[in-house]
């Protein structure tokens, strides 16, 4: 029986990743009665909060305000933020294991699923997530360019990321100006020539992955008219059952029917066409993307909630100069950590990391890298709690790490010239961003380069 978690020997936990799942793993540890714990949270960026900062759309500030909860967690005793430290590169998992009794991998799903069709990599074809990172000023995507001189754009996928991308493309500069959208994106979008936005779903309206609030917003855009044709939203018998049995489907269908019942006017300069039951089979063009071939689908599988899209062989070609592929995120492997290539996740049982089917002592996972890229921010709360419960169950049998004082790790990081950004450092960066935003009536103006953030700490 170990004494880990006592006053004499607090439990040392490293959390890798500072997005919602990381913070929701820290919270129940802090709240655990009688447990003495120190939590060190690592992030490769100098700024915390993962997708809350880099993913949530700038015109959804309410969703972003969840960071107030994370601020409290980060400033509680025993918590240290280790920003600007890349686990797996600046410091290895093996090193972390020497200094921590337990590690919770909560590093999210950083890349995208591929369509796997010809022309996918043509200039003009982008992942939705790169566009999201770009308009949110994420340093990885700062220098990307999107050819917004194109008039016709397609967004592939029916999830909330697809909705975010389509909505940002559809909004006027005035609708975005007082948000914290990155200035370079606002400037580029102000010059946008986009007139037609197609949203392409491989399954039907009833199988849309977006949530009702997101589709509703499309009906309230200043200069963009949503176009939903009645024939696009007619439901198969199994889809009718899905609508009857699922509240979200029912609410989404209500909104889609309301949109379909509208009389289209020419008063707005942009249109957003919803096209269901179509899969892209080829992106065509010479030097760059010129069109997209779609195959019409029908639903197969019979049973409600199990219907799959099956191509009918009938195709159509849409002239589009830009495509945003929004078909889901995908997790990446981390050196020294078991990984399942098939699912893009860290294999686990309720958060206990598994290697060849057996739990790896002291190694846990939470969030998208645990369960896959699904759910809203709040979904991470019970998910991370489940992981922490496994850790606490294992606590009596955990082997204490050999070097609780991370002297060797600090020396390793110093040797590599890594400037560790503590939470107090981040608060300085945060304050400067907010002050910069005030000047232009925005909640904040983000630093879009890591060097700029670090410079604040030198000044």
Question: Which residues in this chain contact ligand NAP in the complex, by CB under 6 A?
Answer: 60, 115, 156-162, 164, 201-203, 207, 209, 214, 279, 326-329, 373-376
Identify whether the C-beta of residue 207 lies closer than 8 Å to the C-beta of residue 278: no
Closer to ligand NAP by CB, 82 or 210: give it. Answer: 210
Identify whether the C-beta of residue 304 lies closer than 8 Å to the C-beta of residue 236: no
Closest-approach residue to ligand NAP (CB): 159
Report, in Å, the least distance between residue 355 CB and ligand NAP.
27
Query: Where does 332-420 show beta strands of DSSP type E?
Result: 348-349, 352-355, 358-365
Report, in Å, the least distance between residue 364 CB and ligand NAP.
22
Report, in Å, the least distance between residue 233 CB and ligand NAP.
15
First-to-final CA distance of the chain = 49
Report, in Å, the least distance between residue 407 CB and ligand NAP.
40
Give 306's contacts (C-beta < 8 A, 6+ positions apart): none
| Beta pairing partners, 285 | 289
For 268, other C-beta atoms within 10 Å of its C-beta total 16
Q: Which of 327, 238, 226 is nearest to 279 (CA)?
A: 327
Distance, CA of 328 to CA of 371 (rounded, Å): 13
Strand order in the sheet with 278-285: 278-285, 289-300, 308-319
Closer to ligand NAP by CB, 138 or 203: give it. Answer: 203
DSSP 280: E
Report, in Å, the least distance between residue 352 CB and ligand NAP.
24
Report, in Å, the least distance between residue 203 CB and ligand NAP.
4
Strand order in the sheet with 196-200: 125-127, 322-325, 152-156, 196-200, 270-275, 224-227
Distance, CA of 166 to CA of 154 (rounded, Å): 9
Q: Using CB atoms within 10 Å of the CB of residue 302, give its burial: 0 to 12 exposed, 13 to 18 middle, 19+ buried.
A: exposed
Report, in Å, the least distance between residue 182 CB and ligand NAP.
17
Report, in Å, the least distance between residue 384 CB and ligand NAP.
16
């Amino acid at each position: 029986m170990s004494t880990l978690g006592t006053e004499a020997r607090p439990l040392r936990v490293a959390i890798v990743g500072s997005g919602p799942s990381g913070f929701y793993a820290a919270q129940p540890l802090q709240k655990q009665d009688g447990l003495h714990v120190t939590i060190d949270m690592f992030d490769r960026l100098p700024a915390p909060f993962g997708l809350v900062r880099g993913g949530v759309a700038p015109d959804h500030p309410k969703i972003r305000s969840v960071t107030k909860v994370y601020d409290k967690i980060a400033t509680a005793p025993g918590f240290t933020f280790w920003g600007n430290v890349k686990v797996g590169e600046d410091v290895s998992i093996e090193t972390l294991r020497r200094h921590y009794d337990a590690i919770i991998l909560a590093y999210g799903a950083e890349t995208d699923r591929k369509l796997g069709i010809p022309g996918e990599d043509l200039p003009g074809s982008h992942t939705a997530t790169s566009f999201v990172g770009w308009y949110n000023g994420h340093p990885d995507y700062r220098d990307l360019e999107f050819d917004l001189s194109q008039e016709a754009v397609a967004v592939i996928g029916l999830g909330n990321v697809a909705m975010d991308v389509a909505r940002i493309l559809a909004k006027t500069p005035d609708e975005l100006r007082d948000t914290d959208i990155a200035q370079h994106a606002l400037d580029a979008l102000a010059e946008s020539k986009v007139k037609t936005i197609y949203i392409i779903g491989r399954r039907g309206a009833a199988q849309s992955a977006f949530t009702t609030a997101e589709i509703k917003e499309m009906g309230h855009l200043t200069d963009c008219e949503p176009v939903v044709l009645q024939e696009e939203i007619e439901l198969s018998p199994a889809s009718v059952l899905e609508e009857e049995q699922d509240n979200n489907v029912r609410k989404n269908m209500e909104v889609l029917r309301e949109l379909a019942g509208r009389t289209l006017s020419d008063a707005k300069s942009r249109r957003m066409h919803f096209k269901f039951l179509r899969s892209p089979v080829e992106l065509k063009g010479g030097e760059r993307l010129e069109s997209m071939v779609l195959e019409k689908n029908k639903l197969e599988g019979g049973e409600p909630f199990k219907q799959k899209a099956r191509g009918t062989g009938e195709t159509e070609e849409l002239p589009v100069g830009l495509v945003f592929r929004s078909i889901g995120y995908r997790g990446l492997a981390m050196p020294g950590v078991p990984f399942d290539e098939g699912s893009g996740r860290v294999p686990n049982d309720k958060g206990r990391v598994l290697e060849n089917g057996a739990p790896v002592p002291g190694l846990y996972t939470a969030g998208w890298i645990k369960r896959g890229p699904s759910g809203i921010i709040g979904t991470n709360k019970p998910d991370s709690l489940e992981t922490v419960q496994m850790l606490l169950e294992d606590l009596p049998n955990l082997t204490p790490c050999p070097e609780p004082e991370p002297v060797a790790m600090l020396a390793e990081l110093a040797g590599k010239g890594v400037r560790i950004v503590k939470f107090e450092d981040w608060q300085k960066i945060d304050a400067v961003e907010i002050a910069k935003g005030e000047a232009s009536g925005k909640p904040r103006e983000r630093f879009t380069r890591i060097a700029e953030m670090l410079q604040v700490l030198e000044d």
